[in-house]
Each structure stands twice: as C-alpha cells, then as structure tokens.
C-alpha cells in the first residue's frame, strides 16, 4: 500500500513537471516576443494544438508510470507537500531549456533563412517535439533515462508515437499546414529542428549527472 501510494504521488509530480515546464517555455517565448517587439515566433493555435493534442497523451501515460526499483528508499513525503523541495526549480530550469531550443530555431529561421514563415514552422516543430522528448526526462529526477530499474512503460512509448504522428500530419499534409499557418521546410531545416529538439533531453541528462554527484558528496559528508 505504501509503495503504491508513493507511486501515485510521484506520478502526479511527473505530470505536473511535464506540463508546467512546457507552459513555462510557451509563456517565455510569447513574453519575449512582446517585450522585444519580434514577429510572433508561434501562434496561439500552435500552442493550443501542442497542449491539447501532443502534451495530453504523454501526460496521461506518465500518470500510469510504474514505480522505480528504489522508490521505497526515498524519504517519506510530508503531508500537503506536492511541490517538494527542488520541484519548482526543475520546472523553471526545464522550461528554460525548451524555450532556448525553440527560440534558437526561430532565430535560425529568421537570420539564416530570412523567412518568418519558415522560422515559425521550425519553432512549432522544435517546441512540440522537444516537449515529447522531455517527457522521457520526467521518469526520474536523478537517474538517467538509460538506467535500468525504472520499469517499462509501454503506454508512454505509444503516447509519444501517437503525438509524433499528429505533429507529422500537421507539418506534412497541405490542408493542415494551411490551417495552422505552417510551410514546407527542407531537409537541412529538419536536421536543425531534430538537433534542437533533443537539446532539452541532453541538458536535463547533464543536470542529473551533477545532481547525482552532489547527492553522493552530501551523503558522504553526512556519514
């Protein structure tokens, strides 16, 4: 019963971190665009599509994530502390990573290709795909996504593939492209988008390394 309770509690945190970090990135992009009088990097309809069609499926899948092998080694949770120590920090940091990747795509489109429509399309692709890759980060706040012992979540894989398919339909099917004000981009732009979409995943993986190092030093000092 205790193990299941911890699993449910931890999964709620995963969903919150995943969704709010994405929202932080979207808000920052729009806020910066307004403050510096940029042409809009992304439209409201793009954000609506990302939040409803691509974020919702991974969020549901994270809600049924299996318990990690070491979940019973975690300290007991204080009553009423859903936003535990470090959670807000992680949300903001992860949101900044996603925001940086999306804005990098936007400015590459604006400065290199000098085309606002391409820049906006690249921003949409990076913002949506990077949030999908970021869902993998949420399975553990400290352990790498490649570490065993986190359990297999087939629902998350299905959700990510389904969300990726939705994005593909929107950016490849002409009527949908017109509906969402997107344009065709070349293979070079796609390579840039894929690389930038993986940046939040890599950045969080690196931050987890420092968290583990700091945790070991703290444990050694307390011993």
Domain CATH number, residue 100: 1.20.1110.10
Please give the tally of structural domains in the chain. 1
Q: What is the pLDDT of residue 219?
A: 67
DSSP code string of 148-195:
SSS---HHHHHHHHHHHHHHHHHHHSHHHHHHTT-----HHHHHHHHH
Per-residue confidence of the chain (223 residues) as pLDDT tens digits? 567 777 888 889 999 999 999 999 999 999 999 999 999 999 999 999 999 888 999 999 999 888 766 665 566 666 556 677 788 999 999 999 999 999 999 999 999 989 999 999 999 999 999 999 999 999 888 888 887 656 688 999 999 999 999 999 999 999 999 999 999 999 999 999 999 999 999 999 999 999 888 877 776 776 6
Q: Residue 149 and residue 69: Cα distance in Å, rounded?
A: 5
Q: Is residue 75 part of a domain?
A: no
What pLDDT is attached to residue 83?
72
- The pLDDT, as a whole number, for residue 81 is 65
Q: What is the pLDDT of residue 105?
A: 98
- DSSP-assigned letter for residue 78: P
Sorted by sequence, the CB contacts under 8 Å of residue 28 that are 6+ apart come out as 95, 96, 99
Whole domain around residue 164: which residue ranges?
2-67+86-217
Q: Is 79 part of any domain? A: no
For residue 18, which of 159, 152, 195 has the smallest C-alpha distance?
Answer: 159
Domain assignment of residue 73, yes or no: no
61, part of any domain: yes
Confidence (pTM)? 0.91
**What 8-state DSSP symbol labels residue 72?**
G
Residue 77 lies in a domain: no
Phi and psi at 148, nearest 5°, equal: -75, 160
Question: Is residue 128 domain-resident?
Answer: yes
The pLDDT of residue 212 is 85
- Give the pLDDT score at 73: 58
80 located within any domain: no
What pLDDT does 205 receive?
94
CA-CA-CA-CA torsion sign (99, 104, 110, 115): negative
CA distance 223 to 214: 14
pLDDT of residue 76: 61
Asked if residue 94 belongs to a domain, the reply is: yes
């Amino acid at each position: 019963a205790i193990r299941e309770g911890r699993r449910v509690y931890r999964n709620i945190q995963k969903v919150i971190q995943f969704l709010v970090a994405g929202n932080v990135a979207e808000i920052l992009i729009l806020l910066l665009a307004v403050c510096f009088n940029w042409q809009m990097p992304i439209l409201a309809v793009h954000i609506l599509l990302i939040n409803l069609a691509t974020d919702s499926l991974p969020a549901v899948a994270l809600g049924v994530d299996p318990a990690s092998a070491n979940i019973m080694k975690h300290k007991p949770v204080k009553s009423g502390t859903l936003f535990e120590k470090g959670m807000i920090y992680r949300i903001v940091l992860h949101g900044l990573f996603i925001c940086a990747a999306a804005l990098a795509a936007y400015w590459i489109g604006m400065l290199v290709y000098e085309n606002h429509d391409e820049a906006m399309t690249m921003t949409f692709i990076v913002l949506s795909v990077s949030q999908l890759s970021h869902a993998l980060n949420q399975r553990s706040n400290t352990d790498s996504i490649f570490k065993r012992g986190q359990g297999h979540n087939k629902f998350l894989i299905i959700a990510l593939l389904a969300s990726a398919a939705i994005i593909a339909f929107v950016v490849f099917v002409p009527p949908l492209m017109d509906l969402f004000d997107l344009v065709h981009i070349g293979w070079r732009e796609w390579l840039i988008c894929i690389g930038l979409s993986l940046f939040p995943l890599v950045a969080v993986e690196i931050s987890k390394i420092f968290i583990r190092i700091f945790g070991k030093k703290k444990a050694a000092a307390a011993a």
